[in-house]
Amino acid sequence: MKWVGPIRISGNVAETETAVPLATFETPLWPSVARGAKLSMAVARGIVTTLVDERMTRSILLEAEDGPTAFDAVRVLRRGFDQLREVAGRTSRFVELIDLHHELVGHLIFLRFEFTTGDASGHNMATLAADALMKHILQTIPGVSYGSISGNYCTDKKASAVNGILGRGKNVIAELVVPQALVSSVLKTTAERVATLNVRKNLLGSVVAGGIRTANAHFANMLLGFYLATGQDAANIVEGSQGITLAEDRDGDLYFSCTLPNLIVGSVGNGKSLDFVEDNLIALGCRDGAQVGDGARRLAVLVAATVLCGELSLLAAQTNPGELMRAHVRIEREPISGH
Amino acid sequence: MKWVGPIRISGNVAETETAVPLATFETPLWPSVARGAKLSMAVARGIVTTLVDERMTRSILLEAEDGPTAFDAVRVLRRGFDQLREVAGRTSRFVELIDLHHELVGHLIFLRFEFTTGDASGHNMATLAADALMKHILQTIPGVSYGSISGNYCTDKKASAVNGILGRGKNVIAELVVPQALVSSVLKTTAERVATLNVRKNLLGSVVAGGIRTANAHFANMLLGFYLATGQDAANIVEGSQGITLAEDRDGDLYFSCTLPNLIVGSVGNGKSLDFVEDNLIALGCRDGAQVGDGARRLAVLVAATVLCGELSLLAAQTNPGELMRAHVRIEREPISGH
Amino acid sequence: MKWVGPIRISGNVAETETAVPLATFETPLWPSVARGAKLSMAVARGIVTTLVDERMTRSILLEAEDGPTAFDAVRVLRRGFDQLREVAGRTSRFVELIDLHHELVGHLIFLRFEFTTGDASGHNMATLAADALMKHILQTIPGVSYGSISGNYCTDKKASAVNGILGRGKNVIAELVVPQALVSSVLKTTAERVATLNVRKNLLGSVVAGGIRTANAHFANMLLGFYLATGQDAANIVEGSQGITLAEDRDGDLYFSCTLPNLIVGSVGNGKSLDFVEDNLIALGCRDGAQVGDGARRLAVLVAATVLCGELSLLAAQTNPGELMRAHVRIEREPISGH
Amino acid sequence: MKWVGPIRISGNVAETETAVPLATFETPLWPSVARGAKLSMAVARGIVTTLVDERMTRSILLEAEDGPTAFDAVRVLRRGFDQLREVAGRTSRFVELIDLHHELVGHLIFLRFEFTTGDASGHNMATLAADALMKHILQTIPGVSYGSISGNYCTDKKASAVNGILGRGKNVIAELVVPQALVSSVLKTTAERVATLNVRKNLLGSVVAGGIRTANAHFANMLLGFYLATGQDAANIVEGSQGITLAEDRDGDLYFSCTLPNLIVGSVGNGKSLDFVEDNLIALGCRDGAQVGDGARRLAVLVAATVLCGELSLLAAQTNPGELMRAHVRIEREPISGH
The answer to whether C222 touches D208, Cβ cutoff 8 Å, is no
> Neighbours of C (≥3 Cβ pairs closer than 8 A)?
A, B, D
Cβ-in-10-Å burial (0-12, 13-18, 19+) of D142 comes to exposed
What distance in Å separates residue D337's CA from the closest CA in chain A?
A: 24
Q: How confident is the model at residue C336 (pLDDT cuts 50, 70, 90)?
A: very low
Percentage of chain B exceeding pLDDT 90: 91
User: Looking at residue A235, what DSSP letter applies?
Assistant: G
Q: Which residue of C has its CA nearest to B162?
A: C210
User: Does residue B308 register a pLDDT over 70?
Assistant: yes
Cis before residue D69, ω within 30 degrees of 0? Answer: no
Reported as half-sphere exposure (CB side, CA atoms, 13 A), residue C10 has a value of: 13
User: Does residue B114 register a pLDDT over 90?
Assistant: yes
What are C216-239's pLDDT values in tens digits?
999 999 999 999 999 999 999 999
Q: CA-based Rg of chain A, rounded to a whole angstrom? A: 22
Collapse the DSSP code of D30 into the 3-class scheme (helix H, G, I; strand E, B; otherwise coil) and give the result: helix
Q: What is the pLDDT of residue C331?
A: 56
In this prediction, the answer to ipTM > 0.90 reads yes
Q: State the catalytic residue, choosing from C17, C96, C233, C278.
A: C233
What distance in Å separates residue C243's CA from the closest CA in chain A?
A: 9
What are C164-190's pLDDT values in tens digits?
999 999 999 999 999 999 999 999 999
How far apart (Å, rounded) are the C-alpha atoms in residues A33 and A10?
Answer: 18
Q: At a CB cut-off of 8 Å and minimum separation 6, what does A18 contact?
A: A5, A6, A7, A9, A283, A284, A285, A302
The answer to whether B232 touches B264, Cβ cutoff 8 Å, is yes
Q: How confident is the model at residue C289 (pLDDT cuts 50, 70, 90)?
A: confident
User: Does residue B328 register a pLDDT over 70?
Assistant: no
User: Does residue B333 register a pLDDT over 70?
Assistant: no
How far apart (Å, rounded) are the C-alpha atoms in residues D83 and D90?
Answer: 11
Collapse the DSSP code of B128 into the 3-class scheme (helix H, G, I; strand E, B; otherwise coil) and give the result: helix
Q: Which residue has the higher pLDDT, A329 or B240?
A: B240
Query: How far is C-alpha C202 from the chain's CA centre?
Result: 18
Q: What is the pLDDT of residue B161?
A: 97
**Stretch A238-243: mean pLDDT:** 98
How far apart (Å, rounded) are the C-alpha atoms in residues B154 and B58?
Answer: 5
> What is the four-CA torsion angle of D233, D99, C244, A55, rounded to 10 degrees?
-120
Q: At a CB cut-off of 8 Å and minimum separation 6, what does D251 contact?
A: D180
What are A80-135's pLDDT values in tens digits?
999 999 999 999 999 999 999 999 999 999 999 999 999 999 999 999 999 999 99
User: Does residue A335 register a pLDDT over 90?
Assistant: no
In chain B the domains, ranked by start, together with CATH numbers, are 2-53+170-332 (3.90.770.10), 55-148 (3.30.70.420)
The answer to whether D300 touches D52, Cβ cutoff 8 Å, is no
Q: Is B218 a catalytic residue?
A: no
Q: Quick check: D157 and C124 CB within 8 A?
A: no
Q: What is the pLDDT of residue C321?
A: 87
Can you point out the beta strands (E) in chain C?
2-11, 16-22, 47-64, 96-105, 108-116, 144-148, 169-178, 244-250, 253-263
DSSP string, A15-84: -EEEEEEE--S-TTHHHHHHHHHHHHHTSTT-EEEEEEEEEEEEEEEEEESSHHHHHHHHHHHHHTHHHH
The answer to whether C196 touches B248, Cβ cutoff 8 Å, is no
SS3 content of chain A, % helix, strand, coil (to 5): 40, 25, 30
Q: What is the pLDDT of residue A337?
A: 45
D176, containing H or E segment: strand D169-178
The answer to whether B120 touches B129, Cβ cutoff 8 Å, is no
CA separation, residue B66 to residues B79, C76, C285, D202 (Å): 20, 46, 54, 21
B157 touches chain A (CB under 8 A): yes
**Lowest model confidence (mean pLDDT) among A194-198, B81-85, B284-288, D41-45:** B284-288
How far apart (Å, rounded) are the C-alpha atoms in residues B302 and B305?
Answer: 5
Q: What is the pLDDT of residue A327?
A: 67
Look up residue B244 and give its amino acid. Answer: I
Give the angle A168-A169-A171 at the CA atoms, nearest 5°: 95
The DSSP bridge pattern shows strands A47-64 and A2-11 to be parallel
User: Does residue B232 register a pLDDT over 90?
Assistant: yes
Phi, psi of B178 (to 5 degrees): -100, 120
Q: State the catalytic residue, choosing from A103, A131, A192, A233.
A: A233
Percentage of chain C exceeding pLDDT 70: 95
**Helices marked H in C141-243 — which ranges?**
162-166, 180-185, 191-197, 206-208, 219-229, 237-240
> Which residues of A fall within a CB distance of 8 Å from C166?
165
User: Does residue A264 register a pLDDT over 70?
Assistant: yes
Q: Quick check: D107 and B210 CB within 8 A?
A: no
Size of interface B-C (CB pairs under 8 A): 48
Query: Roughly how many angstroms between the first and final C-alpha of chain D, as a whole number?
Result: 20
Q: What is the pLDDT of residue B329?
A: 58
User: Does residue A63 register a pLDDT over 90?
Assistant: yes
**Lowest model confidence (mean pLDDT) among B267-271, B325-329, C9-13, D79-83:** B325-329
How far apart (Å, rounded) are the C-alpha atoms in residues B127 and B122?
Answer: 8
Q: Quick check: A48 and C71 CB within 8 A?
A: no
User: Does residue B325 register a pLDDT over 70?
Assistant: no
Q: Please, what are the averages of pLDDT over each run of 10 residues along chain D (339 residues)?
A: 97 98 93 98 98 98 98 97 98 97 98 98 96 97 96 97 98 98 98 98 98 98 98 97 98 98 95 92 92 97 98 97 69 46
Q: What is the pLDDT of residue B106?
A: 98
What are C115-172's pLDDT values in tens digits?
999 999 999 999 999 999 999 999 999 999 999 999 999 999 999 999 999 999 999 9
Look up residue C249 and give its amino acid. Answer: D
Size of interface A-D (CB pairs under 8 A): 48
**Lowest model confidence (mean pLDDT) among B95-109, B316-330, C121-135, D212-226:** B316-330
User: Does residue C335 register a pLDDT over 80?
Assistant: no
Q: Is B339 a catalytic residue?
A: no
Helices B67-79 and B81-89 sit at what angle, rounded to 10 degrees? 70
Q: At a CB cut-off of 8 Å and minimum separation 6, what does A227 contact?
A: A233, A234, A236, A237, A240, A265
Q: What is the pLDDT of residue D331?
A: 56
Q: Is A233 a catalytic residue?
A: yes
How far apart (Å, rounded) are the C-alpha atoms in residues A277 and C233?
Answer: 58
How far apart (Å, rounded) are the C-alpha atoms in residues D189 and B280?
Answer: 63
Phi, psi of B91 (to 5 degrees): -85, -15
How far apart (Å, rounded) are the C-alpha atoms in residues A101 and A97?
Answer: 12
User: Does residue A3 register a pLDDT over 50?
Assistant: yes
Supply the mean pLDDT for chain B: 95
The DSSP bridge pattern shows strands A2-11 and A108-116 to be unpaired
Q: Quick check: B149 and A110 CB within 8 A?
A: no
> What is the four-CA torsion angle of C290, C295, C298, C302, rounded to 10 degrees?
150
User: Does residue B338 register a pLDDT over 50?
Assistant: no
**Would you tell me how many other CB atoms lie within 10 Å of the CB of residue B117?**
25
